[in-house]
Chains A and B, each alone.
Chain A
Amino acid sequence: MTNLHIRWGGVCIVAIVLIVLTYDHYRDNLASLAPQQVRQEAPKGDIRVLGMVQGGTLETRGAGEATFALLGEHASLPVHYEGPPPDNLRELKILVLIGTWNVGAQVFEARDIGIVPNYGFIAGAYLLGLLPLALLLFAMTRRVHFLYDEIKASKLYEEE
């Protein structure tokens, strides 16, 4: 184990800790149900549903209330939204709704709008940005050590 390996081991540990912390932070936002799953399984309690606001169905009432149909691939759900002002809500928008499925009324009662699960782009950008730099730096540091040792060992360099 050289100094170099200890240092890079430390960097790897920090990287793993950061990845675990980040994953843990967003874990709850990753999973969502499709509209047809909600219709078939009628899950109880808080759920997250991913779909698109169907064209021609959005009606807003006041700042924080709206009704629309959430369209999935095979089914759609009538939605009644009541919550914080839905700033970015519009027709043909793909979004995640957080709320409960009212089996009796067959209405999804949404109380918040989640963010589209596009975390893949974020993870991709960070990996693309940092991984090549880390690999390049590691390779360069190793090469410098190697060259240094070789110059010393082969007595090519005389101490002046």
Chain B
Amino acid sequence: MGKKRVGMIVSILLVGGALGYLALGNFGENVVYFFTPSEVKAFSTDYYRKKVRVGGMVVEGSMETYPDRLGLTFQLTDGEATIPVTFEGIPPDLFKEGQGAVVEGYWTGEQRFESNLIMAKHSEDYMPIELKRAGVELPRKDFMKSLVE
């Protein structure tokens, strides 16, 4: 009987905890899943050395690699502000100029974002390459608009 009671309480706590987490707890932080470059630029010094995520569009023509080691630098923009990002390693397969990316790392005092993880953000439109080359645009929510809000 006691075991059943414990089980019942555990199950209620599980659901209650999950819903509570959703309502107030950590979910609040996850709602701001990433900052925009504008917000990053306005960071106070408290944020330096604090691990954050930044999302934006990789600026066309801004990607530069090193000839001697794996890594790259590029600019990330939200349409208003642009920040330089450095990354060591191989970027994800879908990482591309003119596409969205979310980077994780640190905003340094030198006004540069040192990232150790790049996640490629793909949009919700899907089509074969022939249509893309023909310049077909599918109706979609503009990625930049979703950033600036």
| Chains A and B in contact, CB within 8 Å | yes
A56: which B residues are within 8 A, CB to CB? 65-67
The chain A residues found within 8 Å of chain B, CB to CB, are 52, 54-57, 85, 87-88, 90-94, 116, 118
Bound CA–CA A129/B46 (angstroms): 45
Scoring B residues 58 to 93 as 1 if CB is less than 8 Å from chain A, else 0, what string do you get?
A: 000001011101111000000000000000001101
- 27 example contacts (A-B, Cβ-Cβ < 8 A) are as follows A54-B67, A55-B65, A55-B66, A55-B67, A55-B69, A55-B71, A55-B72, A56-B65, A56-B66, A56-B67, A57-B67, A85-B133, A87-B129, A87-B133, A88-B96, A90-B63, A90-B95, A90-B97, A91-B63, A91-B65, A92-B70, A92-B72, A92-B90, A92-B91, A93-B93, A94-B90, A94-B93
Residues 37-67 of B contacting A (Cβ, < 8 Å): 63, 65-67
From B69, B91, B93, B97, residue with most partner A Cβ within 10 Å: B93
Smallest Cβ-Cβ distance to B99: which chain A residue:
A88
Smallest Cβ-Cβ distance to B67: which chain A residue:
A56
In whole Å, how far is A120's beta carbon from the nearest beta carbon of chain B? 14
A92: which B residues are within 8 A, CB to CB? 65, 70, 72, 90-91
B95: which A residues are within 8 A, CB to CB? 90
A90: which B residues are within 8 A, CB to CB? 63, 95-97
From A54, A91, A92, A116, residue with most partner B Cβ within 10 Å: A92
Report whether A87 and B97 are in contact in the complex, using a CB–CB cutoff of 8 Å. Answer: no
A52: which B residues are within 8 A, CB to CB? 90
In whole Å, how far is A96's beta carbon from the nearest beta carbon of chain B? 12
Taking A55-B70, A87-B133 as given, write out 14 further A-B residue pairs in contact, using a Cβ cutoff of 8 Å, ordered by the A residue number. Answer: A55-B65, A55-B71, A56-B65, A85-B133, A90-B97, A91-B65, A91-B72, A92-B65, A92-B70, A92-B90, A93-B93, A94-B90, A116-B93, A118-B93
Smallest Cβ-Cβ distance to B97: which chain A residue:
A90
B133: which A residues are within 8 A, CB to CB? 85, 87
A88: which B residues are within 8 A, CB to CB? 96
Bound CA–CA A87/B129 (angstroms): 9
In whole Å, how far is A82's beta carbon from the nearest beta carbon of chain B? 17
In whole Å, how far is B119's beta carbon from the nearest beta carbon of chain A? 16
Bound CA–CA A88/B65 (angstroms): 16
